[in-house]
Chain A
């Protein structure tokens, strides 16, 4: 039966090698960002656009936008490339591509990687790109100043804010009714959140609140800074961790008290917390507006949203999530094409498509209320309204500077676990953590 065993092995190996060398030919796809595509003389400039939009979150929208742009610009061809594992994955591939000498022309950089990208990756700041364009300044005037600030590092506009999300309070209207609360009157302050959480616990036996706990401190920053604290304070080019101020401690201790004393708030991972809210085990849930569609389609009860609660009369400060568009092209023609593409993505038409496809908030102020653009969509999706309303309260998402930035972030994550896990009071933990972070970022 196995007489031809030897011949079989040799044949299969031969076939394998042969197939390998043949198929390489087919596989050699486009060297899109290659230098062979100079833009002058009626030639087409090909540029790459790197994004993190998976099939279930804007992937199709990116393809639609790119197709439309390519139709309108016969001299430019944009090739979109999805990068798995969100902004971290994109940064890793970007570093490899830069080392290999062929970076994409345009890429989405997550706000929490802004410092890192600016300091470590060669790029063309969009402020410089805008200067070469006579319409550049007029274009940038379409943004609220605090939104444009999201793309600035040390005062320089490095990337154009593109995708924007912020934390809102989702709540289970059915559970509110069951607890005797009025779904039309969600809590406005954290004191009210605490009270209502207690009522929900008493009347329904469910948890009152869950605040998202992924591997970042986004929502926690919103709490601390809305109470008047600063997570990081920059003075004269130097940054200091200041999340051990009395205001920061007070905000964190409130959360800890709800988890540990009142036992009305849940301390769990993001996936667990999301699941608990969707299955009707938690009444209120603080998370990003980008998850609106996901939460609405997954839950069987009526979901409503409210603005991120404030501390009394203190101003609300919500860090913006999402990304800014950066230019990494080196060739002048490609840089020009990249800027042209960014201007298209940030046009009212394209932003309307973008918000509809992803649920992000538009960075420009002239899109939301215009009946030609987002007005009909906003009326159909009232859950978006609180998030749009708090756009003027958007602040930059803190990322710790320097090579130990990621480690510093981890210190703050460990602090969160120590406080909410009940190992130590917030004051002690945050003091120790701030000292550690200050050492890590060079103070």
Chain B
């Protein structure tokens, strides 16, 4: 018996290959010598493969320290964003008060304020507080995210209201309604949102670049720049080796939780 594959899977397959190609290229280049990097053929396979790039990267920069820095910042930001999003979303769905919708839309409006507008005020504020080159400085201005509030509000609204009403009739307090009733019900959204926040913060470049000037405080995306130089040329092998090592943790995190991520996006599309 043969399973029939719908025809539209083929264009999808092309898209998948297209998105994987840069990753394959990164992995392959990481194992190449400088001569092989500029090989004329499009063959990505390094032959003979060399681990020299990885050895060089590990020797040149304190990679463990950078992974730790990146992880700490991504963790703080993710945890803080989730907390603020949960509380705000709870407020916007469970309480009715004057100006609730106005407040919510104002909140959404902040999504459309580009980073370049808030960059300098935030920098000056952090700088006056003496928080340059600190985790606080990088994390503090991004501890709330309107996108998280919006998505969680949608998720909570999709829960049958009777559930919450039943709890209210039983005179259950807000803390328990949130913890026992709502959070378990929106768990997939929470996990997906957490992963999104984590990966975004992990990959963040510009804001850490402004805040961090001390090499020991670098995050991974900043460290990648240490192998490029416009005048002297870029060490592509080393850069790709560093990029490979830098992208491992988020890839692993995604693989572990991908079911939830995909779920949320399917659902949020239907519910709205």
A359 touches B232 (CB 8 A): yes
Q: Mark B7-45, 1 if CB is under 8 A from A, else 0.
A: 000000000000000000000000000110111100000
Listed residue (B79, B131, B139, B190) with the most chain A CB atoms within 10 angstroms of its CB: B79
Q: How many residues of A contact B (CB 8 A)?
A: 64
B34 touches A55 (CB 8 A): no
Question: Which residues on the A side are within 8 Å of B127 (C-beta)?
Answer: 96, 99-102
B243 at the interface (CB under 8 A from A): no
Interface residues of A in 252-305 (CB under 8 A from B): 274-275, 278-281, 288, 290-291, 293-295, 297-300
Interface residues of A in 41-71 (CB under 8 A from B): 52-60
B139 touches A20 (CB 8 A): yes
A86 touches B234 (CB 8 A): no
Question: Which residues on the A side are within 8 Å of B172 (C-beta)?
Answer: none
Question: Which residues on the B side are within 8 Å of A23 (C-beta)?
Answer: 72, 135
How far apart are B60's CB and chain A's nearest CB, in angstroms? Answer: 5
**Could you say which of B128, B139, B227 contacts A56, with CB atoms under 8 Å apart?**
B227
Cα A102 to Cα B229 in complex, Å, equals 26
Q: Mark A1-27, 1 if CB is under 8 A from B, else 0.
A: 010011001101101110111011001
A322 at the interface (CB under 8 A from B): yes
Cα A15 to Cα B75 in complex, Å, equals 10
- In the complex with contacts A5-B183, A53-B229, A56-B229, A81-B134 CB distance below 8 A: no
Q: Mark A111-123, 1 if CB is under 8 A from B, else 0.
A: 0000000000000
B226 touches A13 (CB 8 A): no
B61 at the interface (CB under 8 A from A): yes
Cα A297 to Cα B38 in complex, Å, equals 11
How far apart are B220's CB and chain A's nearest CB, in angstroms? Answer: 13
How far apart are B209's CB and chain A's nearest CB, in angstroms? Answer: 6
A358 at the interface (CB under 8 A from B): yes
**Could you say which of B214, B216, B232 contacts A57, with CB atoms under 8 Å apart?**
B232
How far apart are B227's CB and chain A's nearest CB, in angstroms? Answer: 5
How far apart are A213's CB and chain B's nearest CB, in angstroms? Answer: 13
How far apart are A50's CB and chain B's nearest CB, in angstroms? Answer: 8
B267 at the interface (CB under 8 A from A): no
B159 at the interface (CB under 8 A from A): no
B226 touches A82 (CB 8 A): yes
User: Whose C-beta in chain A lies nearest to the C-beta of B41?
Assistant: A279
Question: Which residues on the B side are within 8 Å of A97 (C-beta)?
Answer: 213
Q: List 19 A–B pairs whose Cβ atoms lie within 8 Å, in order of A's numbering.
A: A6-B180, A19-B72, A20-B76, A27-B135, A29-B134, A31-B130, A56-B229, A57-B231, A81-B215, A84-B225, A86-B229, A86-B231, A89-B209, A96-B127, A99-B124, A100-B132, A280-B40, A297-B35, A298-B37
A93 at the interface (CB under 8 A from B): yes
Chain B interface category by residue count: 35 or more
Question: Which residues on the B side are within 8 Å of A102 (C-beta)?
Answer: 127
A226 at the interface (CB under 8 A from B): no
- In the complex with contacts A13-B79, A23-B72, A275-B38, A100-B123 CB distance below 8 A: yes
A20 touches B136 (CB 8 A): yes
Cα A298 to Cα B235 in complex, Å, equals 10
How far apart are A63's CB and chain B's nearest CB, in angstroms? Answer: 10
Closest 6 CB pairs of A and B: A16-B79, A294-B233, A6-B179, A57-B232, A84-B225, A100-B127
A220 at the interface (CB under 8 A from B): no
How far apart are B152's CB and chain A's nearest CB, in angstroms? Answer: 12
Question: Which residues on the B side are within 8 Å of A85 (C-beta)?
Answer: 209, 225
Interface residues of A in 95-134 (CB under 8 A from B): 96-97, 99-102
Cα A21 to Cα B35 in complex, Å, equals 48
A214 at the interface (CB under 8 A from B): yes
B164 at the interface (CB under 8 A from A): no
B35 touches A96 (CB 8 A): no
Q: Mark B68-108, 1 if CB is under 8 A from A, else 0.
A: 00001001101110110010000000000000000000000
A281 touches B232 (CB 8 A): no
A28 at the interface (CB under 8 A from B): yes
A5 touches B184 (CB 8 A): yes
A93 touches B183 (CB 8 A): no
B217 at the interface (CB under 8 A from A): yes
A165 at the interface (CB under 8 A from B): yes
Question: Which residues on the B side are within 8 Å of A53 (C-beta)?
Answer: 229
How far apart are A297's CB and chain B's nearest CB, in angstroms? Answer: 5
**Could you say which of A20, A28, A281, A297 contacts B40, with CB atoms under 8 Å apart?**
A281
B222 at the interface (CB under 8 A from A): yes
A40 at the interface (CB under 8 A from B): no
User: Whose C-beta in chain B lies nearest to the C-beta of A293?
Assistant: B232
B174 at the interface (CB under 8 A from A): no
How far apart are B120's CB and chain A's nearest CB, in angstroms? Answer: 7
Question: Which residues on the B side are within 8 Å of A30 (C-beta)?
Answer: 214
Question: Which residues on the A side are within 8 Å of B133 (C-beta)?
Answer: 27-29
**Could you say which of B60, B184, B238 contacts A2, with CB atoms under 8 Å apart?**
B184
Question: Which residues on the A side are within 8 Å of B35 (C-beta)?
Answer: 297-300
B76 touches A82 (CB 8 A): no
B183 touches A6 (CB 8 A): yes
A16 touches B232 (CB 8 A): no
B136 touches A24 (CB 8 A): yes
User: Whose C-beta in chain A lies nearest to the C-beta of B227?
Assistant: A56
**Could you say which of A28, A165, A300 contacts B134, with CB atoms under 8 Å apart?**
A28
**Could you say which of B80, B225, B233 contacts A274, with CB atoms under 8 Å apart?**
B233
Question: Which residues on the A side are within 8 Å of B135 (C-beta)?
Answer: 20, 23-24, 27
A27 touches B217 (CB 8 A): yes
Known: A16-B80, A214-B230. 11 other contacts (CB 8 A): A2-B184, A19-B75, A29-B134, A29-B217, A56-B235, A84-B209, A85-B225, A86-B229, A100-B123, A295-B233, A300-B35
B123 touches A99 (CB 8 A): yes
How far apart are B4's CB and chain A's nearest CB, in angstroms? Answer: 37
**Could you say which of A6, A86, A278 contacts B38, with CB atoms under 8 Å apart?**
A278
Question: Which residues on the B side are within 8 Å of A99 (C-beta)?
Answer: 120, 123-124, 127
User: Whose C-beta in chain A lies nearest to the C-beta of B38?
Assistant: A278
